[in-house]
């Protein structure tokens, strides 16, 4: 009888231990993701990446061009009706943003930190040098499938954003971050769907981005790897 009671008392702790063993660490989840999208060796050889996307805004077609250069330079240009309606550029230390009226702002230091890290060419490759700390916060359903919820924080403990990695495939399926706006802080959610192979790189062919009030679906039309993008394209004045 005593043996049976002791066994019952031990069961909860044993179950917890077993569950803990089945949840990988953040480093393991990120390593699985890097393997799933092409492998660390292949990714480390990508010096620059150009992604062309198409979407609609209020019924009007829009073209978005994303350029990234390792380790952390990038530009994002939106063109509608032949006009540049938005542009964001980073030289790796500062971020410049502007609209169709030409009025913009330059972010530096901590204000630019999250944007630069998150927008880098495969940011997971550079977490160590960027001082990013990642922690697993369990699993959550994303698109009806189990995904590991991984929170990324800066060296000072500031939460940067949260990623969701599919348990079965290892691929990143969603990202959540808090963005500042004239109306205050807003949560931005980006979904990564229908991954396809682009010359060895697995990249989502569809992205859906929204903040609760507005949602935009983007289709990836072209992905160019090491296409001769130059540093001069990322100058911030």
For residue 9, is pLDDT > 50?
A: no
User: DSSP readout, the chain?
Assistant: -HHHHHHHHHHHHHHHHHHHHHSPPHHHHHHHHHHHTT-HHHHHT--EEEEEEEEEETTEEEEEEEEEETTTEEEEEEEETTEEEEEEEE-SSEEEEEETTS-EEEEETHHHHHHHHHTSSSGGGGHHHHT-EEEEEEEEEETTEEEEEEEEE-TTS-EEEEEEEETTT--EEEEEEEEEETTEEEEEEEEEEEEEEETTEEEEEEEEEE-SS-EEEEEEEEEEES----GGGG---
Answer whether CATH 2.50.20.10 is correct for domain 25-231.
yes
Q: pTM of the prediction?
A: 0.86
pLDDT band of 115, cuts 50, 70, 90: very high
Instruction: Please compute the mean of the pLDDT values over residues 214-222 and round it to a whole number.
Output: 94
Render pLDDT for 41-77 as a digit per residue (tens, 0 to 9).
999 999 999 999 999 988 889 999 999 999 999 999 9
For residue 179, is pLDDT > 60?
A: yes
Render pLDDT for 225-235 as a digit per residue (tens, 0 to 9).
999 999 999 99
Instruction: Please compute the mean of the pLDDT values over residues 142-162 and round it to a whole number.
Output: 94
For residue 35, is pLDDT > 90?
A: yes
Give the pLDDT confidence score for residue 131 in this predicted structure: 93
Give the pLDDT confidence score for residue 56 in this predicted structure: 92
């Amino acid at each position: 009888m005593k043996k049976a009671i002791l066994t019952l008392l031990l069961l909860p702790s044993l179950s917890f231990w077993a569950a803990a063993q089945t949840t990988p660490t953040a480093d393991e989840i990120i390593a699985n993701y890097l393997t799933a999208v092409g492998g660390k060796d292949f990714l480390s050889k990508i010096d620059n990446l150009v992604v062309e996307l198409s979407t609609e805004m209020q019924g009007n077609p829009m073209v978005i061009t994303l350029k990234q250069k390792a380790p952390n330079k990038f530009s994002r240009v939106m063109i509608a009706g032949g006009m540049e309606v938005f542009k964001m550029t980073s030289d790796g230390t500062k971020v410049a943003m502007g609209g169709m009226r030409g009025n913009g702002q330059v972010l530096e230091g901590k204000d630019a930190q999250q944007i630069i890290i998150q927008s880098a060419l495969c940011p997971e490759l550079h977490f160590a040098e960027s001082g990013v700390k990642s922690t697993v916060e369990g699993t959550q359903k994303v698109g009806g499938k189990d995904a590991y919820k991984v929170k990324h924080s800066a060296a000072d403990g500031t939460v940067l954003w949260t990623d969701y990695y599919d348990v079965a495939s290892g691929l990143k399926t969603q990202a959540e971050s808090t963005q500042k706006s004239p109306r205050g802080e807003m949560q931005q959610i980006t979904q990564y769907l229908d991954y396809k192979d682009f010359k060895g790189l697995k990249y989502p062919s569809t992205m859906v981005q929204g903040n609760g009030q507005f949602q935009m679906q983007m289709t990836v039309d072209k992905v160019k790897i090491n296409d001769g993008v130059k540093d001069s394209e990322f100058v911030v004045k």
